[in-house]
């Protein structure tokens, strides 16, 4: 089975534009951006609670501390949020009704938490609706890692951001593209 497609900024914009014209646009936009801008796994996104992203004073946290039960490898990790993603989270929190901080950050149409499998199917449907061939629920995570690698971020930092325990795992995520090759040869001249 081939690896999930990495998206270009233009393709990501196309997906976000497609999301904007469908139901649950605010929810779906943020779920997708959590994978593209923070490199989170779909299961981690599904496991998020409001208290994971919002401080007691109501401000958006700069870091998400995932406990072992919320991660794939059962190893707690910290997800760092960019200012841009923090603003998206703030917009979303103002959009939803929050009864308690312990409730899921993202709810299905039936107002229950997403399972990793249901969120995976939702993401795949979002990409399909946008007409992005080869994109899957893992595309955001691969795009995140590849984008940072193309900007010169070292593989050890990438592994830490991705929550990988081995840099060889991280290296498999990096999709080498023509722009990366062009930039590399310019450094040699």
Kindly report the average pLDDT of the chain as a whole number. Answer: 91
* DSSP secondary structure of 93-115: HHHS--S-TTSBSSB-TTSSBPP
Cα–Cα distance, 173 to 90 (Å, whole number) = 29
Q: What's the whole-model pTM score?
A: 0.90
Residue in this structure with the two tokens 């998400």, named with its chain if needed: 64
Structural domain span for residue 78? 9-136
pLDDT digits (tens, 9 = 90+) for 117-148: 999 999 999 999 999 999 999 999 999 999 99
In a domain? residue 4: no
Residue 17 CA, distance from chain mean position = 17
Counting the structural domains of the chain, the total is 2
- 65 and 147: one domain? no
Residue 63 has pLDDT above 90, yes or no: yes
Distance in angstroms (rounded) separating the CA atoms of residues 144 and 41: 11
Percent helix, strand and coil across the chain, each rounded to 5? Answer: 55, 5, 35
What tens digit of pLDDT does each residue of 102-111 get? Answer: 899 999 888 8
85 in the same domain as 22: yes
> Do 67 and 174 touch, CB atoms closer than 8 A?
no
pLDDT in tens, 169-185: 888 888 887 787 888 88
**pLDDT of 1 over the 70 cut:** no
């Amino acid at each position: 089975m081939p690896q999930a497609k990495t998206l270009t900024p233009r393709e990501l914009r196309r997906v976000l534009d497609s999301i904007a014209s469908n139901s649950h646009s605010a929810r779906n936009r943020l779920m997708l951006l959590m994978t593209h801008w923070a490199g989170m796994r779909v299961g981690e996104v599904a496991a998020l609670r409001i208290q994971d992203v919002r401080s007691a004073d109501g401000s958006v946290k700069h870091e998400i501390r995932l406990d072992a039960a919320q991660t794939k490898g059962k190893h707690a990790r910290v997800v760092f949020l960019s200012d841009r993603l923090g603003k998206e989270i703030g917009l979303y929190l103002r959009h939803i009704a929050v009864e308690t901080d312990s409730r899921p950050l993202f709810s299905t149409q039936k107002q229950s938490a997403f399972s990793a499998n249901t969120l995976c199917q939702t993401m795949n449907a979002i990409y399909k609706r946008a007409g992005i061939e080869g994109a899957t629920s893992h595309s955001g995570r691969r795009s995140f890692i590849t984008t940072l690698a193309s900007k010169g971020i070292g593989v050890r930092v990438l592994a830490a951001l991705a929550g990988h325990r081995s840099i060889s795992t991280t290296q498999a995520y990096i999709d080498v593209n023509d722009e990366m090759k062009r930039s590399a040869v310019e450094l040699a001249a």
